[in-house]
Amino acid sequence: MSTTNERLHWSFLRVRVIAGNTFREAVRMKLFLAMTILAIGTLASSFLFQEFNFGSSELKFIADFGFGGMTVFGSALAVIVTAQLFYGEIEHRTALTLLAKPIYRSEFVLGKFLGAWATVACFLGMVTICLVFALWGRETSIMAEYPDQFESGRSVHYVAVIGFSAIQALRIGILCSIVVLFSTYASSSLFAMVMGVLIWIVGQLQHIATEAWTAGDSWLLKGVYAVASFALPNFHLFDVGDQLALGENLPGAIYGKLGLYALLYVSFYLAVAGASFNRREL
């Protein structure tokens, strides 16, 4: 028996193992089945409008529909799935055995976040694949009907469609980290979900508040706004669907800018989550 005391090193391997197991839970909960049905349902419903036959503007309609579904269902899933996968572990007391192992709680927090994020990212990926197929198929048949509109080849910029969903994955990463943060503090998964939805809505409307609050001359409101605008992400920045006119790509710089923005917020929320979870009693 050794008498020297080893030191436990923070290990990304354990983070990966926890993330992998979290993802496996999502798979076995049949979440993916539900998500696939959701993805196909979203796009199928856009075809209800097919009879209007708008020509190439119909393609924009399908794309907008897909983008909207991706954002709304993706965000809702992010809140539900993260709360379930993170808080569920505390709720069912499985975290007790896990955290009695030689692991750091920050490893658990990061692993759970990555597993939940990967789950929702898979949903985004599935919607994207469906969307690309739907657009391609519809474009092909419209091209045959109205060849004069397509003299310069296909009008949909498919790389931009994939770029859009990559940007949504960043948005959802931030949302997942927020739900993780609330889960470390929560005493029910409902609390984590409600807070997640609240921050999602506030983050979405933040740019509107900007106009209202900065226009007034109350210092208090301005102060509250200043704090809130730093602590909360501005999700409107990720609404690039409008900028993304069909046939044009997104400016390359936007990926870098939003990527950095997401990275900063995710790191910030996870750092706070780690600190909060360290103090939590199980």
Partner 1 sequence: MTPAIAIKDLIKDFRIPGSDARLRAVDGLNLTIEREAIYGLLGPNGSGKSTTIKVLLGLLKASAGNCELFGTSSENASARIRVGYLPEAPYFQRFLTGRELLEYFGCLSGLKRAGANDRIDELLERVGLEDAGDRRVGSYSKGMLQRIGLAQALIADPDLLILDEPTAGVDPIGAADIASLITGLKAEGKTVLLCSHLLSQVEAICDRVAIMSRGRLLCEGTVASLTENTGKDSIRVDGLSKDGREAVETLANEQGGTVSAPSRSLEDLFLELARNTEDPL
CB of 188 to partner 1, least distance (A): 13
CB of 104 to partner 1, least distance (A): 5
Total chain residues near partner 1 (CB under 8 A): 31
- C-alpha to C-alpha distance for 99 and 84, rounded to whole angstroms: 18
191 binds partner 1 (CB under 8 A): no
152 binds partner 1 (CB under 8 A): no
Among 3, 51, 151, 215, binds partner 1 (CB under 8 A): 3
Residues 6+ apart with CB under 8 A from 182: 83, 191, 192, 195, 196
CB of 13 to partner 1, least distance (A): 8
Q: Considering only the stretches 44-52, 99-107, 129-137, 198-206, report the one whose residues sit in contact with partner 1 under the rule CB under 8 A.
A: 99-107
Instruction: Name the CA dihedral angle for 90, 126, 70, 170, rounded to a multiple of 10 degrees.
Output: 60
Q: Considering only the stretches 9-17, 41-49, 71-79, 142-150, report the one whose residues sit in contact with partner 1 under the rule CB under 8 A.
A: 9-17
276 binds partner 1 (CB under 8 A): no
Q: What is the DSSP code (8-state) at residue 100?
A: T
112 binds partner 1 (CB under 8 A): no
User: Based on CB atoms, which residue is closest to partner 1, 84 or 155?
Assistant: 84
Q: What is the DSSP code (8-state) at residue 280?
A: -
76 binds partner 1 (CB under 8 A): no
User: Based on CB atoms, which residue is closest to partner 1, 25 or 139?
Assistant: 25
Residues 6+ apart with CB under 8 A from 270: 109, 110, 113, 177, 180, 181
Among 48, 51, 102, 151, binds partner 1 (CB under 8 A): 102
109 binds partner 1 (CB under 8 A): no
38 binds partner 1 (CB under 8 A): no
- C-alpha to C-alpha distance for 42 and 16, rounded to whole angstroms: 32
Is residue 274 within 8 A of residue 86, CB to CB? The reply is no
Give how far the C-alpha of residue 256 lies from the chain's centroid of Cα atoms, to the nearest Å: 17
Instruction: Name the CA dihedral angle for 255, 260, 266, 272, rounded to a multiple of 10 degrees.
Output: -170
- C-alpha to C-alpha distance for 19 and 12, rounded to whole angstroms: 10
Helices 105-145 and 158-185, axial angle in degrees (round to 10): 150
25 binds partner 1 (CB under 8 A): yes
138 binds partner 1 (CB under 8 A): no
29 binds partner 1 (CB under 8 A): yes
Instruction: Catalog residues that contact partner 1 under the rule CB under 8 A.
Output: 1, 3, 5-8, 13-14, 17-18, 21, 24-25, 28-29, 92-94, 96-105, 279, 281-282
